[in-house]
Amino acid sequence: MTMADRQFRILGIAGSLRRTSYNRGLLRAAREVAPSGVVISEFDLATIPLFNEDVEAQGDPPPVQALKEQVRAADAIMFATPEYNYSIPGVLKNAIDWSSRPPQDAPLRHKPIALMGASPSGFGTVRSQLALRQVFVFTKSFVMLEPEVHVSTAGDKFDAEGTLTDARTRQNVRALVLALVEWTRLVRAEQLVAWPTDGPSQHALAPTAVSVTHGA
């Protein structure tokens, strides 16, 4: 079954645990503005334990298993991240560390990804998104280059419950969703992508098609 035969599935992951987080609000907005044929779900990182190889050696804990299963099942991933100390929040980096294992068969390997982020500052998570791009070089994830969604002075664009109220930002989020669908179609259309460190089973990306109603 190709993506054209079913709904396009995006998994949203926020790099914040706060209930009224701006970045969780961005993911809610993405669900609300997504076109017909696109379904966006969110994975809450609150239950993911700190990465520990001793724990991993005994088998992934159930929350980690659930995270990996949902990442694998998704057609694409959308990360919404704040910026902590010019970089990535620890809770998000920890989840990525779990999802990067094992390296040759990681759930994030060759996964199409979109980034967005909101911050009270004037820089709108520019640095944290750049740091994320560097991390995804290791996982060989296909991170979309544009459009970029950096939401600055977020306190003026969200209400007290973390709901995105700014119309222009909502339009930007919708554009990111549409671009991610198209990006995934382009990635999956590649007949053969040979990576220097890949084994034979990793070379093929099966061609598929995407059918989305943009006018919804």
Q: What is the pLDDT of residues 79-129, one digit of tens each?
A: 999 999 999 999 999 999 999 999 999 999 999 999 999 999 999 999 999
Domain boundaries, position 164: 3-202
Confidence at 209, pLDDT banded by 50, 70, 90: very low
**pLDDT value of position 189:** 87
Within a domain: 171 = yes
Q: Residue 211 falls within a domain, yes or no?
A: no
pLDDT of 192 higher than 50: no
Look at residue 99 and tell me if it is in a domain.
yes
We report the CATH number of the domain holding residue 53 as 3.40.50.360
Per-residue pLDDT for 205 more than 80?
A: no
Does the global pTM surpass 0.85? yes
Judge whether 207 lies within some domain. Answer: no
Per-residue model confidence as pLDDT tens digits over 128-154: 999 999 999 999 999 999 999 999 999
In a domain, 59, yes or no: yes
CA distance 95 to 187: 24
Q: What is the DSSP string of 94-140?
A: HHHHHHT-SGGG-TTTT-EEEEEEE-SSSSTTHHHHHHHHHHHHHTT
213 in a domain, yes or no?
A: no
In a domain, 215, yes or no: no
CA distance 91 to 112: 21
Q: What total of structural domains would you count in the chain?
A: 1
Asked whether residue 208 is assigned to any structural domain, the reply reads no
H or E segment at 167?
helix 167-188
